[in-house]
Amino acid sequence: MEDRNVDFVIVGLGNPGEYAGSRHNAGYIFCDYLANELTKATSLALGFGTPGPPQFVRRDDLMADIHDVTFESLRILLVKPLTGMNGSGEAVAKVLAAYNITAPASQLICVCDDLNTLPGSIAIQSRAAWYHRRVYYELMRILLSPEDGGELRSLQGHRGIESIASTLTHGNWIRFRVGIGRPAEGQSIVSYVLSRFEDGQEMNLLGYALSLAVQSFQFLATKKGDIKDTKKKFASSKKLPKTLPPWLMGNFG
């Protein structure tokens, strides 16, 4: 695969180590989930049967674990930065440079947890306002007009996303936000996001959201759907799912 260009870089945001199964590591979890789904689909299509778990390669020079896979003629990099959430931008910049990614607006997808999206749902965003690193934090502070502010504010509230935007000096790339909801009254946000997903309904809702995110990517990548079509089809729900697919119940974890 080294002799062909990369079509998509999918970055799952998270913290390595002790927070492996936490809500804040939904991006890492998505990368593992997507890697497994793509590996299974490719293996079954080739008649190889059920494969073993996909392997990520540690790239210390790129500060990331990377899984390089081909799916339906597309070369896809799944990336899990090793920098910690707040330093994600450095790893992403290294990966983009190493693999000569010249069109992040259509090639880069970053996946993270989102407090403001309901469990079992995803949000999809793209094309945030362009800005220079020196004025980044000032722009984040200022109340902008609705036309510009909505796009710029889509970068706020998540340190991994902010780090990538600051390092790349723009926000012109795609973001999949996996809904984790908000903590119960009395629990701090830090405690909530760094805690593990609970078994049962919450884990099933996570599985459903991950499935939506996988379908979103496949639709965007292989059906030639644009980002607006993808949002409308997979990220328009504002309510908790009333029912979950039978195959999902009790089988995700």
Bridge partners, residue 178, by sequence: 113, 122
CB 174 within 8 A of CB 165: no
C-alpha to C-alpha distance for 89 and 11, rounded to whole angstroms: 10
Q: What angle do CA 238, 241, 246 make, to 5 degrees?
A: 160
Tell me, yes or no, if 24 is annotated catalytic: yes
Output phi, psi for 229, to 5 deg.
-60, -40
Q: What angle do CA 144, 149, 155 make, to 5 degrees?
A: 125
- The Cα–Cα gap between 32 and 150 comes to 31
Of 24, 67, 158, 170, catalytic: 24
Q: Which two tokens stand for residue 55?
A: 């392997």
Q: How far is CA 180 from the centre of its chain?
A: 13
Judge whether 178 and 112 are in contact, CB under 8 Å. yes
Active site residues: 24
